[in-house]
Amino acid sequence: MLKNIHIVLIGLALFILLQTFLDTVFAVLTTLVVLFSWIAFNIFSVKHSLFLKSICRIRTKEKVVFLSFDDGPSDQFTPVILDILKRNNVKASFFCIGQHAEVYPDLVRRISSEGHRIGNHTNSHNWKNAFKPSSIIEAEIDRTNNILFDITGSKPELFRPPFGITNPSIAKAIKGSGMQSVGWDIRSFDTISKDPQKLVRRISDKLRPGSIILLHDNREITSRILNELIETIQNKGYKIVSLADV
């Protein structure tokens, strides 16, 4: 069940309003379309989800932002990204896929040893799991936590829902695991962007205090623009800090 009853109240209000002006059957159909569209929007928008409270931006007046990387570790690009972060003395958060961590444990150890925050991004990163029972999702979370604990000796506290999808099953699984869901308020689209300059500009134009930036450490373009992105962010007067510092 939805824990937030606003969706029901808004749906009822829409129904009453439409019924005043339109044929009853049409009003019902229109209300249902609006209602289900809004539900779909909340399922696919981690920032606006009614089902689960996720940290998508840190509330602060300080000019600080947070870099986060999903879908790794990658043997091709994670080392490059770690080198750049180290040169710039910048800490970030890495939301690791369990299957990848299992293949590249040395990279997970390096992420941890260099002071970055490690989070859980499920074991398989399969979008179909988002629409399965909560027990399956929780098993994915637990499996990844165990893998990361075996590698680093620490259990992750942060979880990022794959693709930003949330629903009642995912909410139940995350609560059951005792983890904090983390989203973002700046989506870089580095998974589809082809132009490095446009990518840097897209991110830097959206900066605001407390922004959490979504990047991916399994993409070449991200490794190519990261140094310039860090410089651009810092030139705008922002400090890049770790989620561990809040």
* Residue 11, pLDDT score: 62
Mean pLDDT score of the chain: 87
Decide if domain 64-245 falls under CATH 3.20.20.370. Answer: yes
Strand partners, 117: 93
* Residue 149, pLDDT score: 98
Write the pLDDT tens digit of every residue in 127-174: 888 889 999 999 999 999 999 999 999 999 999 999 888 888 999 999
Q: Which of 70, 71, 185, 190 is catalytic?
A: 70
* Residue 244, pLDDT score: 77
Mean pLDDT, rounded, for 31-47: 53
| 125 in catalytic set | no
Q: Which of 125, 216, 217, 245 is catalytic?
A: 216
Q: Is the pLDDT of residue 228 over 90?
A: yes
- Residue of higher predicted confidence among 71 and 39: 71
Mean pLDDT, rounded, for 220-236: 98
Q: How confident is the model at residue 25 (pLDDT cuts 50, 70, 90)?
A: low
Instruction: Classify burial at 113, counting beta carbons within 10 Å of its beta carbon; exposed 0-12, middle 13-18, buried 19 or more.
Output: exposed
Q: What is the DSSP string of the chain?
A: --S-THHHHHHHHHHHHHHHHS-HHHHHHHHHHHHHHHHHHHHS-TTT-SS---B-B---SS-EEEEEEES---TTTHHHHHHHHHHTT---EEEE-HHHHHH-HHHHHHHHHTT-EEEE--SS--GGGGGS-HHHHHHHHHHHHHHHHHHHS----EE--GGG---HHHHHHHHHHTPEEB--SEE--TTT---HHHHHHHHHHT--TTBEEEEETT-HHHHHHHHHHHHHHHHTT-EE--GGG-
* Residue 127, pLDDT score: 80
> pTM of the predicted model, to two decimals?
0.83
Q: Is the pLDDT of residue 245 over 80?
A: no
Q: Where are the domains of the chain?
A: 6-43, 64-245
| 185 in catalytic set | no
